[in-house]
Amino acid sequence: MKNISKSIDKVDAHEKIAGETAYISDIKREDMVYAMTLRSPVASGTIRNITLPTLPEGYAAVGPEDIPGRNLVTMIYEDWPVFPEKRVNYIGEPLMLLLGPDKERLASLLDAVEVDIEEDTPVLDYSHSGVHLHYEKGDSDKAFADADRIIEETYTTGYQEQAYIEPQGFVGYIEDETYTVIGSIQCPYYVHEAVKVTLDETDENVRVLQAPVGGAFGGKEEFPSVMATQLAVALKKIKRPIKMIYEREEDMVSTTKRHPSKTTIRAAVKDGRITGMTSHIGIDGGAYIGLSEVVLSRGMLAATNAYTIEHLDVDGDVYLTNTVPNGAFRGFGAPQMIYAIEMFMHHAAKELGEDPFSFRKAHMVKQGDWTSTGGKFRDPILLDEMIEKAADISDYHKKRKAYEDENVYKGIGMSWFFHGCGFTGSGEQHIIKSRVEVEKDAQDTVYIHVAAVDMGQGPKTTLRKIVADVLDLPIERVIFDYPDTHRVPDSGPTVASRTAMIVGGLLARAAKTLKETWREGEAQKVEKRYQQPDYVEWDGECMKGDAYPAYSWGVNVVEVEVDKHTYEIDVKDVYSVYDLGKAIDERIVLGQADGGQAQGVAYGYLEVMSRENGRLKQTNMTDYIIPTAMDMPKTDNHLIDNPYPYGPYGAKGGGELTLVGGAPAVAQAIEQAVGRRVRDIPATPEYLMELIHNG
């Protein structure tokens, strides 16, 4: 049998390298106008009046009064208006669109709009909880009552901006009386549903097409629904093709980011072991809840990361603030929590005078253990072997010892972690209900019909590889076009590390059926629907049971050197070992690893986004610092096969796994280098200076 992991060239590599790919900003339609957004200049207030200048022929304004359907964007939690009618809740909130053929003219018209808002005091702290979640396991009260020591620490994390190469954008037009939008998006059917509801139209009258996506990282999960509904309202009013592309600064101030967080962990220690733990994670949701509850939930489910703690009590809140709403970003709540718990375990060991590595290993999860929510880790866990491998390739133990010398400004840190694959709990079964089709025509060319989006992570290649391999066809005979909601079924959103495992799994089953019923020279079609593995039991209300059908695992080792004059952090080496079941294409997975690690490590030490009175301070790529090739060292990444019985060829999730462990690994390395405890990230040179001078 062929090894599916053996890499092939990405099917879209050539056209992208050659610059032939037409992204959304390259698309033009005849008689097209541009849309520009009027935005709130204040963080909190009530609209008194908006006075427009006289609009020339061919120009139009579109606002809340033009919405035919419901003025709430359809998403997991619905509190986000298409356009606010009275209350404005954050700086940059879209108030209305201006449309017209000439951008410079539009810009000057936009400048001439008079916005009269009665401003009030914005909420900018963690005081207004919009969502509270809680779960528990065992009897944590008793654990704390019996404890001979209690350890508590608080951690904060900052914003993170997705910094996709291509800003958000759509082109919309009416064709055959169908409202058609094409955009840089992750979830065609999310956009489809949102537009349909906002326009009060039928499923058939709304069509969503995916344009090639120049990076997304979660930033194009729910936000495009907001933009698309606005565009659709304008489309219905002016009935001309419209192009709406955000400029970079506009994108950065007005689209979703990773939630800043504050996490407090308290542990009951008995005989040198943690017996119980209470945690509270608060995340800053911004002005609307949107996806934040689900982000919070994924964070809380990672409360004990890859450790088994018998008695547990976990609380979480989404705090509402008068700032830009936060949302999906690769990792989805897990990076905040995994950072906190990894640092906590490390610091707790130090408090107890134990070796952090051994202390952490003594608490590590094993196959058969209960999860934080009382589900079961059913599948083999290879962490022991992975940690040994990571320690070996990085020479971790020797370096860890050598860098303890306080005259050496070097440090090495190690994190280990899991990531739950797919939607939380029974989400795949009850919410997503994924459907896929594999079709062949009379010439025996095979077509994949799914709504999965290739945003750089490779499904255009990997999904074709799976189907081609099952059918034993050359990959050229398997076609996978950009999703079009008029042609493909809803295979679910391209999120939650689910595409290879869930969509790929369904496609493998569909392809197998097609193979078994294959009739040469005849058109055939096979459909498959998601069926939850029998063992999954989840009570969403109490957050009890199996939160995920499967888990991927990882180990990151990061080595740094800190400049003693400037406190600058030089990331010297990154080593990793991952278990994501089975790589469908090894090079694509290693590419995910390089990118995810860069994003995860930079989250820990480099990427700063801050705000003052509700206004973001870093609003362009000059001021918002992401790592360049100069900042990221060569990486040494390894994959370990651990096939998952329900995934295609054993594949689990990989997209987010590679990000979630970067921050604690680099933070541990930094704290060793400077001999101080890091609690807040990003651990910038400015922060290190304060730590060094003030302890």
Strand, helix or coil for residue 50: strand
Strand, helix or coil for residue 169: strand
Q: With respect to other proteins, which residue has the nearer C-beta, 60 or 692?
A: 692
Q: With respect to other proteins, which residue has the nearer C-beta, 517 or 610?
A: 610
Q: With respect to other proteins, which residue has the nearer C-beta, 3 or 108?
A: 108
Taking the complex as a whole, how short is the minimal distance between the CB of residue 91 and other proteins, in angstroms? 15
Taking the complex as a whole, how short is the minimal distance between the CB of residue 104 and other proteins, in angstroms? 5
Strand, helix or coil for residue 504: helix
Question: Distance between alpha carbon 190 and the CA centroid of its chain, in Å?
Answer: 16
Q: With respect to other proteins, which residue has the nearer C-beta, 97 or 245?
A: 245
Taking the complex as a whole, how short is the minimal distance between the CB of residue 618 and other proteins, in angstroms? 5
Which residues touch 601 (CB under 8 Å, ≥6 apart)?
556, 558, 571, 574, 627, 632, 662, 663, 665, 666
Taking the complex as a whole, how short is the minimal distance between the CB of residue 131 and other proteins, in angstroms? 31
Residue 693 burial (CB < 10 Å; 0-12/13-18/19+)? exposed
Angstrom distance (rounded) from CA 625 to CA 648: 38
DSSP lists the bridge partners of residue 94 as 39
Contact by Cβ (8 Å): 154, 166 = no
Q: With respect to other proteins, which residue has the nearer C-beta, 53 or 627?
A: 627
* DSSP H or E segment with residue 183: strand 178-183
Contact by Cβ (8 Å): 58, 102 = no
Pairing of strands 60-62, 94-100: antiparallel
Residue 12: count other Cβ atoms within 10 Å of its Cβ.
16
Q: With respect to other proteins, which residue has the nearer C-beta, 59 or 319?
A: 59
Which residues touch 84 (CB under 8 Å, ≥6 apart)?
40, 47, 64, 93, 95
Angstrom distance (rounded) from CA 602 to CA 30: 43
Taking the complex as a whole, how short is the minimal distance between the CB of residue 244 and other proteins, in angstroms? 11
Which residues make up the interface to other proteins (CB under 8 A)? 25, 34, 102-104, 107, 245, 247, 565-568, 606, 608, 610, 617-618, 622-623, 625, 627-631, 685-686, 689, 693
Taking the complex as a whole, how short is the minimal distance between the CB of residue 630 and other proteins, in angstroms? 4
Taking the complex as a whole, how short is the minimal distance between the CB of residue 103 and other proteins, in angstroms? 4
Taking the complex as a whole, how short is the minimal distance between the CB of residue 242 and other proteins, in angstroms? 13
Q: With respect to other proteins, which residue has the nearer C-beta, 291 or 569?
A: 569
Q: With respect to other proteins, which residue has the nearer C-beta, 21 or 46?
A: 21
Closest CA to 184 of 203, 163, 208: 208
Place of tokens 């704390």: 144
Taking the complex as a whole, how short is the minimal distance between the CB of residue 119 and other proteins, in angstroms? 24
Taking the complex as a whole, how short is the minimal distance between the CB of residue 114 and other proteins, in angstroms? 22
Residue 478 amino acid letter: V
Main-chain dihedrals φ then ψ at residue 606, nearest 5 degrees: -120, -45
Angstrom distance (rounded) from CA 675 to CA 670: 8
Residue 410 burial (CB < 10 Å; 0-12/13-18/19+)? middle
Q: With respect to other proteins, which residue has the nearer C-beta, 117 or 244?
A: 244
Q: With respect to other proteins, which residue has the nearer C-beta, 2 or 693?
A: 693
Contact by Cβ (8 Å): 284, 323 = yes
Q: With respect to other proteins, which residue has the nearer C-beta, 445 or 613?
A: 613
Taking the complex as a whole, how short is the minimal distance between the CB of residue 478 and other proteins, in angstroms? 36
